[in-house]
Chains A and B, each alone.
Chain A
Amino acid sequence: MAKQNPPLIETVDLCKSYFNDGMETPVLFDIDLTIREGEFISIMGPSGSGKSTLMHILGFLDTPTSGSYLFRGQKTRVLHDDELARIRATRVSFVFQAFNLLPRTTVLDNVILPLLYHPTIPASERTERGMKAIEQVGLTERATYFTNQLSGGQQQRTAIARSLVTEPDVIFADEPTGNLDSASGIQVMEVLQNLHSKQGRTIVLVTHEKTTAEYAERVIHILDGRIATDTRDFKRNHAKNVKHLK
């Protein structure tokens, strides 16, 4: 079903290198990837293979070194800073591997942070939307707590609530269950599952756990900065992947 939808994300020959003191660290190589609206994708791969790096680029948090990235058919390289900011505010959201919450700030204020920068959602709706998102991750009783008064799992759920609050087209979640016990992990995955199945939202997830990956309809494996396998076109790439995996 998802395959019929128009592509939300398309990358062609996308490469990423980090530069530190003139030293180049190549991380991603020739990533060709198409993600259609409504897909639920898991990205797996060994530590250091470049999963987070790819997610950051797709989530508009970082820029590719070369190659092209099209979002809803639009070349992102030509977008101005304010247009990129608008996409971050309205269309994509991110759950970080390391929560990245504002310290000394309540759960509710953290969750509604993106709404401050949202161009159309009125200020009067912020608290209601924030509380709804908090309820979805089961933190209603903790809404007025400061984030440093929460457990790691609760902090991650706060971060997930923050990513839901703008109802974006696509949510990028970088190991969202990595810090949670299995019960709250399932709870979080069910939230994401619901967003996907009931609201048709696109979800891209990085995980190390097979059980978590199985929520997704499509699993992409990354190895040394390249897409090694992709269940969508497994057949097409099979021969090449076998060669790679050796």
Chain B
Amino acid sequence: MLLRDTIQTAHRAIVAHRMRSLLTMLGIIIGVGSVVLMVSVGRSFERYILDQVESFSNNLIELYPTGYEKFGRTLDSVTYGDYEAITGLTTVKSVAPVIFITEKVQYGTEELSPNIFGTTSNFFANYGLKLGEGRLLSEADEKAARSVTVLGYEAAEDLFGQRSPLGERVQIGSRSYTVVGVMQSVGSALMQDLDTFVFVPFTTARSATGQKELSYMTMQAVEDDELALADVTLLLRQRHGIDNPENDYDKDDFRARSAEQATKIVGQVTLGLTVFIALIAGVSLLVGGIGIMNIMLVSVAERTREIGLRKAVGARGHDILLQFLIEAVTLTLVGGSIGIIGGMTLGMILAAAASKYIGYVPFVLSFPALLAAVLMALGTGLLFGIVPAKKAASLSPMEAIRWDK
């Protein structure tokens, strides 16, 4: 038999058994499609989280007040005195105190409820934030506790639209602030949309809120993260009179953390996520594989009778095997392609949809997963298409024709 005839025969068989072919392909599409979708969603999310963490300078350190007994009230264990003492340390630099203002920001009829940071210009450097237009907060602003503000890119856009906000006055709580600067768009980090933030001088925030203690503090390690963390922790324990040689964080009324530690934690989380996704992908493969297997097994009797007839009119064993091989490969390639394209499209749509809510989520495709999915589909297709065909081809034509198991 000519190869061309075998190919044509296989393709006619696919068309003649439309339902069987469709169901087989459906198994392949589901298996391959869900693996591509699951793995790419997982990989995209992983990439997103890593981007979030890595967007901070690696030597960032954050210092928070903690304490369970004060739960429900503003924590006040980290003081301005602590801030001044920490600026004296040689292992840290660029220390910035922060007091949050929980007020609305208004301009005309526009109103926002952003995170409002009362802080110093060091803050911007610590988070890698860059100025778009105008100027940052200055030492003069700080000294005079001026009512000036710097807006995040999105906050400015939401309040002013296309107009330049520079020189305009916005209302924060009961006070009016002059906009002196707008930040560049940087997207989000650690699930926080940095572009929506609003900044005022630390001293201004302190007098506006009447809050003496700090909401939190940020700084950068001069060289070694661990060293800086140890220095800060020791200093604060000393200042707060906490005897804690065993380093039990529950005894402290503050917590100092480096971005590097956060990266490690996130790395562990995403590793867990990857394993989880791989498990789901494995289940998807299994489901798809079982689908293919079922439809192949259900059609074994029909196929066996057809093989018997073909042998009765002169087909050789290898004509039969080649026909079924081509049929399985065709179904796999078509189904696999649809599955890949479908899974990718859905993944892209999901990534785009998620980008709207949590900041840019990149679409990442995993080629090993893709390969595994296609190989699985091909494997099941071949196994359950070819093995029964091989068995049927080894029967006498009459045994095959009368097959009804």
Contact = CB atoms under 8 A, between A and B. Distances in A.
B317 A123 contact: no
B20 to A, nearest CB: 11
A103 B314 CA distance: 19
Given A104-B17, A117-B1, A61 B398 contact: yes
B311 A103 contact: no
Interface in A85-137: 85-86, 88-90, 93-94, 96, 100, 102-105, 109, 113-114, 116-118, 123
B9 interface: yes
A179 interface: no
Given A63-B396, A104-B17, A116 B5 contact: yes
Looking at A85, A90, A118, the one whose CB has the most chain B CB atoms below 10 A away is A85
Given A62-B396, A116-B9, A117-B1, A100 B314 contact: no
A82 B314 CA distance: 9
A102 B309 contact: yes
Contact of A118 (B311, B314, B317, B397): B314
A166 B310 CA distance: 14
Looking at B4, B305, B312, the one whose CB has the most chain A CB atoms below 10 A away is B312
Contact of A114 (B16, B314, B396): B314
A89 B313 contact: yes
Interface in A20-39: none
Contacts of A196: none
Given A103-B16, A105-B16, A62 B399 contact: yes
A114 B312 CA distance: 9
B319 interface: yes
Given A61-B398, A123-B5, A117 B309 contact: no
Contact of A89 (B2, B305, B306, B314): B314
Given A88-B312, A89-B314, A116-B9, A62 B16 contact: no
A77 to B, nearest CB: 13
Interface in A71-90: 81-82, 85-86, 88-90
A82 B316 contact: yes
Nearest to A103: B16
Contacts of B212: none
Given A61-B396, A102-B306, A117 B16 contact: no
A51 interface: no
Given A88-B311, A89-B314, A62 B17 contact: no
A226 interface: no
A118 B313 CA distance: 9
A205 to B, nearest CB: 18
A114 B309 contact: no
A114 to B, nearest CB: 4
A56 B398 contact: yes
A162 interface: yes
B12 interface: yes
Interface string B386-405: 00000000001111010000
B326 interface: no
A227 B24 CA distance: 50
Contacts of A118: 314
Given A104-B16, A109-B12, A117-B319, A62 B398 contact: yes
A218 B86 CA distance: 118
B316 to A, nearest CB: 4
Rank and list the top 4 A-B pairs by shortest CB-CB distance, nearest first: A89-B314, A117-B314, A114-B313, A104-B16
Given A89-B313, A118-B314, 6 more contacts: A82-B316, A85-B315, A96-B401, A105-B16, A116-B315, A117-B319
Interface of B: 1-2, 4-5, 9, 12, 16-17, 305-306, 309-317, 319, 396-399, 401
25 contacts: A61-B312, A61-B397, A61-B398, A62-B398, A81-B317, A82-B316, A85-B317, A88-B312, A89-B314, A90-B314, A100-B305, A103-B16, A104-B16, A105-B16, A113-B309, A113-B310, A114-B313, A116-B9, A116-B315, A117-B315, A117-B319, A123-B2, A123-B5, A162-B313, A166-B314
